[in-house]
Amino acid sequence: MTYTTIQYSLDIIRDEALELVHKGVLSRQQPIYTLCRYIPAREWACVECELEECDFLLRDRIGDLIGREKWDND
């Protein structure tokens, strides 16, 4: 059995987090480590390393990771 490991860049992590926030699964106020429920365990170490390299802590808020949202209409 072979496993494919996805290379997680900060942009991919942000996109995953933003999608989960838009679906209402996660809140912008939750810590980044709550993403581990939605990313396969074998890939979480790669995500942690990427976040650390970009100066994010797992206790930081998801809102800090995804930044401000752009609204197309009011």
Q: Over the stretch 21-40, which tens digit does the pLDDT of each residue have?
A: 999 999 999 999 999 999 99
Q: How far is CA 6 from CA 43, 46, 73, in A?
A: 7, 9, 34
Residue at 11 is within a domain = no
- Say if CB 66 and CB 28 are below 8 A apart: yes
Report the number of distinct structural domains present in the chain: 1
* CA atoms within 13 A of residue 64's CA, in its CB half-sphere: 13
Residue at 6 is within a domain = no
Residue at 1 is within a domain = no
- For residue 73 the two structure tokens come to 């209409």
Look at residue 7 in the predicted model and tell me its pLDDT.
79
Residue at 40 is within a domain = yes
Domain that holds residue 45: 30-69
Q: Say which amino acid occupies 29.
A: Q
Residue at 7 is within a domain = no
- Please state the pTM of the whole predicted model: 0.80
Q: Cα(first)–Cα(last) distance of the chain, in Å?
A: 50
